[in-house]
Each structure stands twice: as C-alpha cells, then as structure tokens.
Structure 1
Amino acid sequence: MTMTDQLGPHLPFLRRFARALCGNQTSGDAYVVASLEAIVANRDVLPTHLEPRVALYHLFLRIWNDTPVNNLAPSGDGESRLETLTPRSRQAFLLTTVESFQPEDAAAVMGVDAATFAELSDTAAREIAEQVATEVLIIEDEPIIAMDLESLVEGLGHTVIDIARTHKEALAAVAKRRPGLVLADIQLADGSSGLDAVNDILANIEIPVIFITAYPERLLTGSKPEPAFLITKPFQTNTLRAVISQALFFNDSSARKDAA
C-alpha cells in the first residue's frame, strides 16, 4: 500500500482537527501542509509502531508543539471557547470529542502515557466547566449510582439541582427549576421510563441530555432519531466527564446564550 493510500483518507479529518486546534482555517491548513512536506522529505518521521491515522496526527502535533507560540497559556481574550483552553488540554479534548479517538490512541497521538492523558482530559473538563458551569438534573433510581453521578458532576464545577427516581419526580423537578443538563437512566424505580420523562421535558425546553443506561439497545434501534450522547453502564468515569464537557461545550443553546 502506498503512502497516499495509507494517509489520504485521514487528511480531511486532520484538516478539521487542525482548524479547530488553531482557531482558523488558514493556520490549520498551513500546519497540515507542513506535516505532509515533512513526510515527503523523510518518511521516517512517521512512527512505524503506530497505525497510520495515529502516526499522522502524532506527527502533526509534534510540528504544532514545536512552534513556541502554540504553547503559550491562553490570554483570556480568545474569540472562541476552545481558545480559552490551555494548549495540551485543548488537544486532549479535541482528539476524543471531535476526532473520536479512544483514550489510549489519543495518548499515543500526544506522546504521553495513559495517566498523563487522563490528567489532561480532567484539566479540559475543569476549564470547560468554568465557562459553561450549569445546573444538572439527575434521573436515576439507583441510590449509589446517583451519588456517584452527583459527586462527579459537582467535582466538575456544576450544581445538581435534584435527583429524580421516577418520571413524575423528574417532571416535578423541572417545573421547579430549569436545568442546563440532564443525566438520565431509562428504567426507573416505579417501572416508569426515563426516556418518556426526557421526551416530556424536551417538549417544553431545549437542553442537552446524556443517557446513562444498561439497556442501550432500547435507544439504538435505528428506527427513529437517536440520542447524541449515550453512555453504557457500568460507565467509565473519565468517559462520562468527557461526554459531559462535550455536551455542554458544543450545546447550541449555550453558544447562543454566550453570544447574546
């Protein structure tokens, strides 16, 4: 297989990553070109122990990080939320949320071990929460899981306004106070449906929802619109942190509020 065959399919996605990382198309595309020129000059710059996509992104970040200005702390006056994240945490966030790398592959892209990557992801989550801290409704009938979710959410800087165990409790909680995010199980304590509760909530307000369930097949039917954010129980803490950050960071209603 030629180098073009190996790397060509990944270039559109690398450009997407580069533009998001740099904050504009011109700079992002220039770094992609620099990466390709480096490969043309010396194919050995691509790590052979990594699969092609990981190796390509790894080389790109080596070149990007070798430019001193890219490693400066954010000034605080960036035009986008991404620009306010510290450089390395921004990379970690984009690799997993936009480029859909698994944490182990994202760590390889960044040239760090798993523990360091987890720390960078946590930093990104905290930095994002400082921008989009919100009030969260948890719809979960298992007390231990609900407590874990509450601790995780508050650890990110958000506020839990209520923990609902049934469809009725969920609607009552929203009637009292509108949340900015909902974390919802599907099967609830009294046999009622968390999915029905969410649908009733979304009929009146527009907010991001993350389903956390042991029954993902009930949502992934392919027969109707499916949730953008779905976590399978038992969930990984780091995965849920990343998805919460993603849901809030890219939430259209939050963006409109910021622009208002």
Structure 2
Amino acid sequence: MSSFQTAVTAELPYLRRYARTLTGSQSIGDAAVRETLQAMIAAPDEIDENAPVRVELYRVFHRIWSDSSLRPIDIPGAIVGSLPRRLRKALLLTTIEGFTVDETAHILGMTESEVEDFVAQARSAIHALLSAKIMIIEDEAIIALHLKSLMVSMGNDVAAIVRTKDEAVAMAEQVEPELILADVNLADGSSGIDAVREILSNMSLPVIFITAFPEKLLTGDGSEPAYVISKPFDPDNVVATVWQALLVSREKAAMAEID
C-alpha cells in the first residue's frame, strides 16, 4: 500500500462522519464514501498525490456526490441539516472538519469569497438556535465578567460563575450547563482540570479551557481537551470557539438519535 493510500485510509473515519452529518444518514453517507473510493481507484490519474491527502479526498467526494441528494434533514436538533445544501457544506467543512477557507474553496470548486459568504449566511441563519446555558469557572472577577458579557452578547444564558473546584462540581450538578468555560488555576489553589474531570464523569458536555497555562493541558500524554484558548485571549477567538463547540455538540447529539 502506498503512503497516499495509507493516508487516505486514516482519513476515512472523518469522511464517514462528515458524510453522515451532511446527508443525515449513516447508510447514505457510507454509500457516498464507497463511491468516492471507487472513483479514486478507477481513475488514479485524476488524483493529485502532491496535494494534501485530506483535501484531495474531500474534493473527490464532492466531485462525485450529487447535490440533489442533499435535502433538508428532518431530525430534531440537526441544526446544519436545516440549511440549504451550499451553506451546509461550507459550514461543515470550515467549522466541524476544520478546513481553511482556501481549502474549502478548492474542495467545493468555489471562490474563497463565495465560501466566506456561505459560511456567514449559515452562521446568521442558525445563530439563535445555538444559545445555551453556560457555566464559567474563573477566579479572576474581571475576566469572569468579560467572559459573561461575551456569552450574553451571543444570546447565551450564563447560569453560574464559580471560583473553586468544589463550587464548580456542586454548581454543575445544580444548573446542568450545556457548555463550560474553565480556567486551570483556581482561587483556593484547586484545579479547573480536576473540576472538569469530575463534572464530565457525571455528564457529557463540551468544555473550553481558557488559561494562561495551556502547557498543563497540551502535554501530549493521553487525551487532550478539544478546545484550549490561551490568555490573554482574543474575544473573537472565544466567540468563534464557543460557537464551534456548541455546533459540534448539538450535531453529535442530533445524529446519535438515528443510530
């Protein structure tokens, strides 16, 4: 097996996830992935092996997959599925799959300005649907109030602001947040990492760490958090990360209903 084929194989779980979210069906999504692989095998000369493997795989997927199959998805909570297909693809590729605007433009055969426009339209269309109950674990009052202001400006409900591990664990059980913003070093010397670990042992929800000590989280040992923002933070980065975390969480929950 060539290095290109090996790399394609490694990317298949992500393409299956994308196809499933895009179509609203694992069986239909898997059929589209099979067609993609068959096309790559049948016409290897059309594959640019010098291009990033993941970009090329998704490009071929969209070259052979018919837009006529991408109808609105009638699954409660499937936010992306309610969007027009062009907006749906651009949003999923840039937000959930993590492609850059220029990579997405290449995959979809669009201009970068078209991708940016479609993503902006998609975000505008579903912004109100992503409001959530949020808990902030932060011992510095000014930072906590700044984060609260950002969350409220997005339409979210800040259900609690806590300063220690014990307060965080108790309050999470009481308010049942849908997303947590957490610092690492807390007021009494306790750890936001320990607080989150204990909370997640009892409930499932996205967590965004906002810390001056990201190295305590990004150690390379074991599983690392999906969302880490360094202090001092860019407010736009916090808003974008919250938006992404909520979208991914809602889509996963909605798609789990069809399993």
Scaled by the length of structure 1, the TM-score of the pair is 0.68
Distance 2:194 2:158 in 1: 21
Paired position in structure 2 for 1:232: 229
Give per-residue Cα distances to partners, 1:172-214, cap 9 Å, x unaligned.
64476332221111123454432343345456x4142332223
In the TM superposition, residue 5 of structure 1 has moved relative to its aligned partner by: 3.6
C-alpha spacing 1:31/1:56, structure 2 compared with 1 (3 Å): same
Of the three residues 211, 214, 217, the one matched with 1:213 is 211
| Residue 58 (structure 1) shift | 1.8
Q: Which whole-Å deviations, capped at 9, do the CAs of 1:205-239 have from their partners, x for residues lacking one?
A: 4142332223233234466x645433131362433
Q: Does 1:123 pair with 2:125?
A: no
Give the distance between the partners of 1:226 and 1:119, measured in 2 at CA. Answer: 33
Shift of the 18–247 alpha-carbon distance from structure 1 to 2, 3 Å rule, reads closer
1:18 corresponds to: 19
Equivalent pair of 1:61/1:109 in contact (CA under 8 Å): yes
- What is the identity percentage for the equivalent residue pairs of Structure 1 and Structure 2? 35
- The change in CA–CA distance for 1:228 and 1:3 in structure 2 (over 3 A counts) is closer
- Give the aligned partner of residue 179 of structure 2: 181
Distance 1:48 1:4 in 2: 7
Distance, in Å, in 1 between the alignment partners of 2:166 and 2:8 is 52
Pairing of 1:94-113 with structure 2 (within 5 A): 94-95=92-93, 99-101=97-99, 105-110=103-108, 111-113=110-112
Show structure 1 runs of 5+ residues with no match: none
3-state SS, counterpart of residue 176 of structure 2:
coil
2:29 is matched with 28
- Hey, what does 1:55 align to over in structure 2? 56
Say which SS state the counterpart of residue 250 (structure 1) adopts: helix
Q: How many pairs does the alignment contain?
A: 248
2:67 equivalent in structure 1: 67
1:68-87 correspondence runs (5 A)? 68-70=68-70, 72=71, 74=72, 77-78=74-75, 81=78, 83-87=81-85
TM-align CA RMSD: 4.3
1:59 CA displacement: 2.9
Aligned partners of 1:199 and 1:142: how far apart in 2? 21
SS of the aligned residue for 1:188 comes to coil
Structure 1 counterpart of 2:162, from 161, 164, 167:
164
